Amino acid sequence: MFKQEAIEVIRKAITDEGILASAQQRDNYARVWARDSMMTGYAGILADDKEIQAGLEQSILTLAKHQAENGQIPSNVVNDKASYGTHVGRTDATTWWVVVACEYLKKQKNEALKHKLQPQICLALSCLKTWEYNQRGLVYSPLGGNWADEYVTSGYTLYDNILRYWALKNVAEIYHDEDLKTKAVNTKQLIQENFYKNDSDMVKYHETAYAKTPAKPYFWASLNANGYDVRFDLAGNALAILLDFELDYKAFSEFPETVHEEFGHWMLPVFYPVIFPGDDDWRLLENNYSYSFKNEPHHFHNGGSWPIFLGWLCLALKRKGFPEIPEKIIAQYESLMKDKEEHFREYYSTDQLLPLGTEQLCFSASGYLLMTN
Protein backbone atom coordinates (compact mmCIF):
# COMPACT_ATOMS: atom_id res chain seq x y z
CA MET A 1 0.00 0.00 0.00
CA PHE A 2 2.80 2.43 0.92
CA LYS A 3 5.63 0.62 -0.87
CA GLN A 4 6.23 3.17 -3.63
CA GLU A 5 6.09 6.00 -1.13
CA ALA A 6 8.69 4.24 1.01
CA ILE A 7 10.98 3.85 -1.99
CA GLU A 8 10.58 7.52 -2.89
CA VAL A 9 11.42 8.61 0.66
CA ILE A 10 14.68 6.68 0.41
CA ARG A 11 15.47 7.94 -3.08
CA LYS A 12 15.11 11.54 -1.88
CA ALA A 13 17.78 10.86 0.75
CA ILE A 14 20.42 9.70 -1.75
CA THR A 15 23.37 12.07 -2.23
CA ASP A 16 26.83 11.87 -3.77
CA GLU A 17 28.16 10.62 -0.43
CA GLY A 18 25.49 7.94 -0.05
CA ILE A 19 22.13 7.46 1.65
CA LEU A 20 21.34 9.98 4.38
CA ALA A 21 19.24 9.09 7.41
CA SER A 22 16.22 11.16 6.37
CA ALA A 23 14.75 12.59 3.19
CA GLN A 24 14.41 15.87 5.09
CA GLN A 25 18.21 16.22 5.15
CA ARG A 26 18.35 18.34 8.29
CA ASP A 27 20.19 18.43 11.60
CA ASN A 28 21.96 15.23 12.61
CA TYR A 29 20.08 13.24 9.97
CA ALA A 30 21.88 14.85 7.01
CA ARG A 31 24.71 12.34 7.39
CA VAL A 32 25.66 8.96 6.02
CA TRP A 33 25.09 6.87 9.13
CA ALA A 34 26.60 3.40 8.96
CA ARG A 35 23.70 1.45 10.43
CA ASP A 36 20.97 3.55 8.76
CA SER A 37 22.49 3.52 5.29
CA MET A 38 23.34 -0.17 5.46
CA MET A 39 19.87 -1.28 6.59
CA THR A 40 18.29 1.03 4.04
CA GLY A 41 20.56 -0.36 1.35
CA TYR A 42 19.64 -3.91 2.35
CA ALA A 43 15.97 -3.00 1.93
CA GLY A 44 16.89 -1.67 -1.52
CA ILE A 45 18.48 -5.02 -2.37
CA LEU A 46 15.33 -6.86 -1.33
CA ALA A 47 13.16 -4.41 -3.29
CA ASP A 48 15.52 -4.79 -6.27
CA ASP A 49 15.70 -1.01 -6.62
CA LYS A 50 18.73 -0.01 -8.68
CA GLU A 51 18.73 3.62 -7.51
CA ILE A 52 18.81 2.67 -3.84
CA GLN A 53 21.49 0.07 -4.53
CA ALA A 54 23.62 2.72 -6.24
CA GLY A 55 23.21 4.87 -3.13
CA LEU A 56 24.21 1.89 -1.02
CA GLU A 57 27.43 1.41 -2.99
CA GLN A 58 28.34 5.04 -2.44
CA SER A 59 27.57 4.69 1.28
CA ILE A 60 29.84 1.64 1.49
CA LEU A 61 32.68 3.53 -0.20
CA THR A 62 32.20 6.71 1.84
CA LEU A 63 32.33 4.80 5.12
CA ALA A 64 35.28 2.71 3.95
CA LYS A 65 37.18 5.87 3.05
CA HIS A 66 36.99 6.97 6.68
CA GLN A 67 37.78 3.61 8.27
CA ALA A 68 39.92 4.17 11.36
CA GLU A 69 43.43 2.80 11.70
CA ASN A 70 42.20 -0.02 13.95
CA GLY A 71 39.57 -1.07 11.37
CA GLN A 72 36.59 0.63 13.01
CA ILE A 73 33.93 1.92 10.62
CA PRO A 74 32.64 5.41 11.52
CA SER A 75 29.24 5.85 13.07
CA ASN A 76 28.56 8.55 10.48
CA VAL A 77 30.19 10.80 7.90
CA VAL A 78 29.20 14.34 6.88
CA ASN A 79 31.08 16.76 4.63
CA ASP A 80 34.04 14.38 4.50
CA LYS A 81 34.32 14.33 8.30
CA ALA A 82 33.83 11.16 10.30
CA SER A 83 32.43 10.55 13.78
CA TYR A 84 33.03 7.29 15.62
CA GLY A 85 30.62 8.07 18.44
CA THR A 86 30.23 10.80 21.05
CA HIS A 87 30.16 9.36 24.56
CA VAL A 88 31.32 5.94 23.35
CA GLY A 89 32.01 4.23 20.02
CA ARG A 90 29.36 2.28 18.12
CA THR A 91 29.98 -1.44 17.77
CA ASP A 92 27.20 -1.97 15.24
CA ALA A 93 28.54 0.59 12.75
CA THR A 94 31.37 -1.83 11.93
CA THR A 95 29.23 -4.97 11.90
CA TRP A 96 26.45 -3.51 9.75
CA TRP A 97 28.99 -2.22 7.25
CA VAL A 98 30.61 -5.64 6.86
CA VAL A 99 27.26 -7.47 6.71
CA VAL A 100 25.67 -5.32 4.03
CA ALA A 101 28.83 -4.70 2.02
CA CYS A 102 28.94 -8.48 1.59
CA GLU A 103 25.22 -8.67 0.80
CA TYR A 104 25.78 -6.04 -1.88
CA LEU A 105 28.75 -7.96 -3.32
CA LYS A 106 26.57 -11.08 -3.47
CA LYS A 107 23.94 -9.14 -5.38
CA GLN A 108 26.23 -7.31 -7.82
CA LYS A 109 28.94 -9.92 -8.43
CA ASN A 110 31.39 -7.05 -9.00
CA GLU A 111 34.82 -8.69 -8.82
CA ALA A 112 36.74 -5.40 -8.94
CA LEU A 113 34.78 -3.99 -5.98
CA LYS A 114 35.06 -7.31 -4.14
CA HIS A 115 38.86 -7.18 -4.50
CA LYS A 116 38.99 -3.50 -3.54
CA LEU A 117 37.00 -3.95 -0.34
CA GLN A 118 38.65 -7.15 0.87
CA PRO A 119 41.49 -5.52 2.88
CA GLN A 120 39.07 -3.14 4.59
CA ILE A 121 36.58 -5.90 5.37
CA CYS A 122 39.36 -8.02 6.88
CA LEU A 123 40.59 -5.06 8.93
CA ALA A 124 37.04 -4.50 10.21
CA LEU A 125 36.84 -8.14 11.31
CA SER A 126 40.19 -7.73 13.04
CA CYS A 127 38.77 -4.75 14.94
CA LEU A 128 35.78 -6.82 16.05
CA LYS A 129 38.16 -9.52 17.26
CA THR A 130 39.89 -7.02 19.55
CA TRP A 131 36.51 -6.13 21.06
CA GLU A 132 36.23 -9.64 22.49
CA TYR A 133 38.65 -8.41 25.23
CA ASN A 134 38.82 -11.82 26.90
CA GLN A 135 39.44 -13.76 23.66
CA ARG A 136 36.55 -16.11 24.38
CA GLY A 137 34.51 -15.42 21.26
CA LEU A 138 31.87 -12.80 22.08
CA VAL A 139 32.27 -9.06 21.43
CA TYR A 140 31.74 -6.64 24.32
CA SER A 141 29.82 -3.39 23.82
CA PRO A 142 29.94 -0.47 26.27
CA LEU A 143 26.80 1.21 27.58
CA GLY A 144 25.44 3.25 24.66
CA GLY A 145 27.61 1.33 22.21
CA ASN A 146 25.06 0.44 19.55
CA TRP A 147 21.85 1.74 17.92
CA ALA A 148 20.14 1.99 21.35
CA ASP A 149 22.74 4.56 22.35
CA GLU A 150 20.67 6.11 25.16
CA TYR A 151 19.45 2.81 26.61
CA VAL A 152 20.66 0.50 29.39
CA THR A 153 21.95 -2.65 27.67
CA SER A 154 25.69 -3.27 27.62
CA GLY A 155 28.26 -6.02 27.77
CA TYR A 156 27.93 -9.14 25.66
CA THR A 157 24.75 -8.01 23.94
CA LEU A 158 22.63 -10.36 21.86
CA TYR A 159 22.16 -7.79 19.07
CA ASP A 160 25.86 -6.98 18.59
CA ASN A 161 26.96 -10.61 18.71
CA ILE A 162 24.30 -11.75 16.26
CA LEU A 163 25.56 -9.06 13.87
CA ARG A 164 29.16 -10.14 14.40
CA TYR A 165 28.13 -13.72 13.54
CA TRP A 166 26.37 -12.50 10.37
CA ALA A 167 29.49 -10.54 9.40
CA LEU A 168 31.72 -13.60 9.81
CA LYS A 169 29.28 -15.80 7.93
CA ASN A 170 29.02 -13.38 5.00
CA VAL A 171 32.75 -12.74 4.66
CA ALA A 172 33.48 -16.48 4.79
CA GLU A 173 30.96 -17.03 1.99
CA ILE A 174 32.07 -14.14 -0.23
CA TYR A 175 35.80 -14.80 0.05
CA HIS A 176 35.64 -18.62 0.41
CA ASP A 177 37.50 -18.56 3.72
CA GLU A 178 37.27 -21.85 5.61
CA ASP A 179 38.84 -20.44 8.80
CA LEU A 180 36.21 -17.70 8.96
CA LYS A 181 33.50 -20.28 8.23
CA THR A 182 34.63 -22.25 11.27
CA LYS A 183 34.77 -19.05 13.33
CA ALA A 184 31.22 -18.22 12.26
CA VAL A 185 29.93 -21.69 13.23
CA ASN A 186 31.62 -21.46 16.63
CA THR A 187 30.27 -17.95 17.21
CA LYS A 188 26.74 -19.07 16.42
CA GLN A 189 27.06 -21.92 18.90
CA LEU A 190 28.41 -19.58 21.59
CA ILE A 191 25.40 -17.28 21.18
CA GLN A 192 22.93 -20.17 21.12
CA GLU A 193 24.42 -21.69 24.28
CA ASN A 194 24.80 -18.49 26.29
CA PHE A 195 21.68 -16.45 25.47
CA TYR A 196 18.96 -19.15 25.60
CA LYS A 197 18.23 -21.67 28.36
CA ASN A 198 19.25 -25.18 27.36
CA ASP A 199 20.42 -28.52 28.76
CA SER A 200 23.77 -28.54 27.01
CA ASP A 201 26.88 -29.38 29.03
CA MET A 202 28.92 -26.80 27.12
CA VAL A 203 30.86 -24.46 29.42
CA LYS A 204 29.04 -21.15 29.78
CA TYR A 205 30.56 -17.67 29.77
CA HIS A 206 29.24 -16.99 33.27
CA GLU A 207 28.25 -20.30 34.84
CA THR A 208 26.90 -18.82 38.08
CA ALA A 209 24.73 -16.22 36.35
CA TYR A 210 23.50 -18.71 33.75
CA ALA A 211 22.37 -21.17 36.43
CA LYS A 212 20.37 -18.45 38.20
CA THR A 213 18.73 -16.97 35.10
CA PRO A 214 15.16 -18.05 34.29
CA ALA A 215 14.21 -19.41 30.89
CA LYS A 216 12.39 -17.07 28.53
CA PRO A 217 10.61 -17.80 25.23
CA TYR A 218 13.18 -15.57 23.52
CA PHE A 219 16.93 -14.89 23.61
CA TRP A 220 18.09 -12.83 26.61
CA ALA A 221 19.20 -9.27 25.81
CA SER A 222 22.70 -9.24 27.26
CA LEU A 223 25.25 -10.74 29.61
CA ASN A 224 27.58 -8.77 31.85
CA ALA A 225 29.93 -9.53 34.73
CA ASN A 226 27.01 -8.91 37.12
CA GLY A 227 24.69 -11.35 35.33
CA TYR A 228 22.06 -11.42 32.62
CA ASP A 229 19.66 -8.77 31.41
CA VAL A 230 16.64 -10.91 30.56
CA ARG A 231 14.48 -8.21 28.95
CA PHE A 232 13.16 -8.73 25.42
CA ASP A 233 15.32 -7.13 22.73
CA LEU A 234 13.17 -7.15 19.59
CA ALA A 235 16.03 -6.28 17.23
CA GLY A 236 18.36 -8.96 18.52
CA ASN A 237 15.67 -11.64 18.47
CA ALA A 238 14.50 -10.67 14.98
CA LEU A 239 18.02 -11.07 13.64
CA ALA A 240 18.46 -14.36 15.49
CA ILE A 241 15.33 -15.73 13.81
CA LEU A 242 16.41 -14.40 10.42
CA LEU A 243 19.75 -16.18 10.77
CA ASP A 244 18.22 -19.53 11.76
CA PHE A 245 19.09 -19.74 15.43
CA GLU A 246 17.23 -22.46 17.33
CA LEU A 247 14.12 -21.36 19.18
CA ASP A 248 10.85 -22.87 20.37
CA TYR A 249 8.77 -20.99 17.80
CA LYS A 250 5.46 -21.96 19.35
CA ALA A 251 6.50 -20.45 22.68
CA PHE A 252 8.05 -17.47 20.96
CA SER A 253 4.93 -16.71 18.93
CA GLU A 254 2.84 -16.71 22.11
CA PHE A 255 5.03 -14.00 23.64
CA PRO A 256 4.08 -11.19 21.20
CA GLU A 257 0.45 -12.17 21.76
CA THR A 258 0.81 -11.50 25.49
CA VAL A 259 2.54 -8.15 24.80
CA HIS A 260 -0.25 -7.29 22.36
CA GLU A 261 -2.84 -8.03 25.03
CA GLU A 262 -1.01 -5.82 27.53
CA PHE A 263 -0.61 -2.84 25.17
CA GLY A 264 -3.77 -3.27 23.11
CA HIS A 265 -2.06 -2.97 19.72
CA TRP A 266 0.57 -4.59 17.48
CA MET A 267 3.23 -1.86 17.49
CA LEU A 268 5.45 -3.99 19.69
CA PRO A 269 8.04 -2.24 21.91
CA VAL A 270 11.66 -2.51 20.84
CA PHE A 271 12.64 -3.33 24.45
CA TYR A 272 10.29 -4.86 27.01
CA PRO A 273 9.35 -4.41 29.80
CA VAL A 274 9.21 -0.62 29.99
CA ILE A 275 11.44 1.07 32.60
CA PHE A 276 9.71 3.47 35.02
CA PRO A 277 11.06 6.01 37.56
CA GLY A 278 11.93 4.09 40.68
CA ASP A 279 12.98 0.94 38.78
CA ASP A 280 16.58 -0.16 39.27
CA ASP A 281 17.53 0.70 35.68
CA TRP A 282 16.07 4.21 35.72
CA ARG A 283 19.33 5.70 36.98
CA LEU A 284 21.11 4.27 33.92
CA LEU A 285 18.58 6.04 31.70
CA GLU A 286 18.13 9.46 33.21
CA ASN A 287 21.56 10.91 32.38
CA ASN A 288 22.35 8.92 29.25
CA TYR A 289 21.54 11.40 26.48
CA SER A 290 23.30 13.96 24.30
CA TYR A 291 20.74 16.69 23.54
CA SER A 292 17.49 16.04 25.40
CA PHE A 293 15.99 13.19 27.41
CA LYS A 294 13.79 11.03 25.16
CA ASN A 295 13.42 7.83 27.17
CA GLU A 296 10.29 8.57 29.15
CA PRO A 297 8.26 5.38 29.69
CA HIS A 298 6.82 4.04 26.40
CA HIS A 299 9.06 6.35 24.35
CA PHE A 300 12.16 6.08 22.19
CA HIS A 301 14.30 3.10 23.29
CA ASN A 302 12.32 2.72 26.54
CA GLY A 303 9.36 0.80 25.15
CA GLY A 304 8.92 2.83 21.96
CA SER A 305 7.96 0.95 18.81
CA TRP A 306 10.38 1.26 15.87
CA PRO A 307 9.11 0.28 12.39
CA ILE A 308 12.65 -0.60 11.26
CA PHE A 309 12.93 -3.43 13.77
CA LEU A 310 9.33 -4.53 13.37
CA GLY A 311 10.34 -4.87 9.72
CA TRP A 312 13.19 -7.21 10.56
CA LEU A 313 10.89 -9.26 12.80
CA CYS A 314 8.26 -9.56 10.06
CA LEU A 315 10.84 -10.53 7.45
CA ALA A 316 12.35 -13.14 9.75
CA LEU A 317 9.08 -14.75 10.83
CA LYS A 318 7.72 -14.90 7.29
CA ARG A 319 10.90 -16.55 6.05
CA LYS A 320 10.53 -19.15 8.80
CA GLY A 321 6.96 -19.87 7.76
CA PHE A 322 5.12 -17.92 10.50
CA PRO A 323 3.16 -15.18 8.68
CA GLU A 324 0.38 -14.58 11.24
CA ILE A 325 2.16 -12.08 13.51
CA PRO A 326 3.72 -10.17 10.57
CA GLU A 327 0.27 -9.77 9.02
CA LYS A 328 -1.05 -8.26 12.25
CA ILE A 329 1.91 -5.90 12.57
CA ILE A 330 1.63 -4.73 8.95
CA ALA A 331 -2.12 -4.14 9.28
CA GLN A 332 -1.56 -2.10 12.46
CA TYR A 333 1.22 0.01 10.93
CA GLU A 334 -0.71 0.70 7.74
CA SER A 335 -3.80 1.71 9.70
CA LEU A 336 -1.75 4.22 11.68
CA MET A 337 -0.26 5.72 8.53
CA LYS A 338 -3.69 5.97 6.88
CA ASP A 339 -4.78 8.26 9.70
CA LYS A 340 -1.86 10.68 9.30
CA GLU A 341 -0.51 12.77 6.45
CA GLU A 342 3.05 12.37 7.76
CA HIS A 343 4.44 8.91 7.15
CA PHE A 344 7.53 6.98 8.22
CA ARG A 345 8.15 8.72 11.52
CA GLU A 346 11.03 7.46 13.64
CA TYR A 347 9.02 5.61 16.28
CA TYR A 348 5.61 5.34 17.98
CA SER A 349 4.91 5.71 21.67
CA THR A 350 3.36 2.47 22.86
CA ASP A 351 0.96 4.00 25.38
CA GLN A 352 -0.83 6.42 23.01
CA LEU A 353 0.49 5.33 19.58
CA LEU A 354 1.78 8.82 18.83
CA PRO A 355 4.04 9.06 15.76
CA LEU A 356 7.20 10.73 17.06
CA GLY A 357 10.73 11.64 16.07
CA THR A 358 11.99 12.58 12.63
CA GLU A 359 9.67 12.44 9.62
CA GLN A 360 10.42 10.71 6.31
CA LEU A 361 13.03 8.59 8.04
CA CYS A 362 14.77 6.06 5.81
CA PHE A 363 14.93 3.71 8.81
CA SER A 364 11.12 3.55 8.94
CA ALA A 365 10.61 3.48 5.17
CA SER A 366 13.06 0.57 5.09
CA GLY A 367 11.16 -1.13 7.89
CA TYR A 368 8.00 -1.05 5.79
CA LEU A 369 9.87 -2.54 2.81
CA LEU A 370 11.20 -5.30 5.05
CA MET A 371 7.70 -5.96 6.43
CA THR A 372 6.15 -6.27 2.99
CA ASN A 373 8.98 -8.03 1.16
pLDDT in tens, 69-96: 999 999 999 999 999 998 899 999 999 9
Residue 359 placed within a domain = yes
- Residue 306: per-residue pLDDT: 98
Mean pLDDT of 279-296: 93
Helix 3-12 with 362-371: angle, nearest 10 deg:
150
- The pLDDT, as a whole number, for residue 342 is 79
pLDDT band, residue 18 (cuts 50/70/90): very high
- The mean pLDDT value for 265-270 works out to 98
Q: How confident is the model at residue 100 (pLDDT cuts 50, 70, 90)?
A: very high
- Least trusted range by pLDDT, from 25-34, 208-217, 309-318: 25-34
Segment 125-164, tens digit of pLDDT? 999 999 999 999 999 999 999 999 999 999 999 999 999 9
pLDDT number for residue 341: 78
Instruction: Count other C-beta atoms under 10 Å from residue 206's C-beta.
Output: 18
Domain interval for residue 359: 251-373
d(CA 46, CA 53): 10
Regarding beta strands 227-233 and 220-224, do their DSSP bridges make them parallel or antiparallel, or are they unpaired?
A: antiparallel
Packing angle of the helix pair 3-12, 34-46 (nearest 10 deg): 140
Checking if the pLDDT of 26 tops 80, the result is: no
Residue 86: the pLDDT is 86
**Mean pLDDT score, 211-229:** 97
pLDDT at site 23: 84
191 domain residue, yes or no: no
Residue-wise pLDDT for 247-256, tens only, equals: 999 999 999 9
Residue 68 in any domain: the answer is no
Total domain count for the chain? 1
pLDDT in tens, 323-350: 999 999 999 999 999 988 779 999 999 9
Rounded CA-CA distance 356/373 in Å is 25
Q: Could you give phi then psi for residue 262, rounded to 5 degrees?
A: -70, -40
User: Has residue 333 been placed in a domain?
Assistant: yes
The answer to whether the beta carbons of residues 372 and 330 sit under 8 Å apart is yes
pLDDT of residue 28: 85
* 247 contacts 240 by C-beta, under 8 angstroms: yes
Specify the DSSP element, H or E, that contains 161. Answer: helix 158-175
What residues does 155 pair with on adjacent strands?
141
pLDDT of the residue at 275: 98
**Sequence letter at residue 303:** G
pLDDT of res. 168:
98
List the one residue out of 271, 174, 170 whose CA is nearest residue 220.
271
| pLDDT of the residue at 87 | 86
In a domain, 27, yes or no: no
**369 occurs within a structural domain:** yes
CA 189 – CA 247 distance, rounded (Å)? 13
Kindly indicate the confidence band of residue 25, based on its pLDDT and cuts at 50, 70 and 90: confident
Let me know if residue 131 belongs to a domain.
no
Distance CA 202, CA 216 (A): 19
What is the sign of the dihedral through the CA atoms of 136, 139, 144 and 147?
negative
| Residue 120 in this model has a pLDDT that exceeds 80 | yes
Q: Is 341 part of any domain?
A: yes
* pLDDT higher than threshold 80 for residue 58: yes
Instruction: Give the mean pLDDT of 314-320.
Output: 97
**Average pLDDT score over residue span 347-359:** 96
List of residues 6+ apart from 373 with CB closer than 8 A? 43, 46, 47, 315, 318
CA separation for the pair 69, 62 (Å, rounded): 15
Dihedral of the alpha carbons of 131, 43, 353, 238, in degrees to the nearest 10 = -50
User: How far apart (Å, rounded) are the C-alpha atoms in residues 282 and 164?
Assistant: 29
Query: Residue 175: is its pLDDT beyond 80?
Result: yes
| Averaged confidence pLDDT in the chain | 96
Say which DSSP state 361 is in: B
Tell me the mean pLDDT in the region 359-363.
95
In sequence order, the 6+-apart residues with CB closer than 8 A to the CB of 323 are 317
Nearest Cα residue to 94 out of 35, 143, 139, 176: 35
